[in-house]
Amino acid sequence: MTLKEEFQTRNFSIYGQWLGILSMILCFALGIANIFTFYIFIIIFAIICLVSSFIILFVEVPLLLRICPTSSGFDATIRRVSTNYMRAGAYGVMALVQWLSIIPRATSLIAAAVLLTLTALCYLMAGVKGQAFVGSKTLGGAGVAQMIV
């Protein structure tokens, strides 16, 4: 299945997974950009944004759990976030934290909050519509691990 065919399935979990990848890139970039401010609260939110980007990386690209040496506790925690509702909840919490970053001062972390919110909404829509989670084969979904071995 090509990337175009994946998007044509109209499965919101595919949309959520790709928005998650965009969220990861944006969280990483904005986390680094905002870490060099003079406001301690913004630095804390920037660090949380950076940590969120690495969590998203392992959630959205399951192949990395096989490649990267991580602890069994971390692997078990990441594997719990496997259903659409769990992913929506995880992204919702990350979005809420970034929305709270505007309390001390409005920064570019708002962009991360918006994209994380959109990702959470996509996973929530997939859950509400009863669509099963379908991982993108491009990002290490079904069948990619067997192709590597």
| Percentage of the chain lying above the pLDDT 90 cut | 50
Q: Is 81 domain-assigned?
A: yes
Q: What is the pLDDT of residues 42-51, one digit of tens each?
A: 999 999 999 9
Write down the pTM of the prediction.
0.84
b/e sequence 93-117, b meaning 16+ C-beta within 10 Å: ebbebbbebeeeeebebeebbebbb
Number of domains composing the chain: 1
Has residue 37 been placed in a domain?
yes
Provide the residue range defining the domain that includes 42: 12-148
pLDDT in tens, 86-117: 999 999 999 999 999 999 889 999 999 999 99
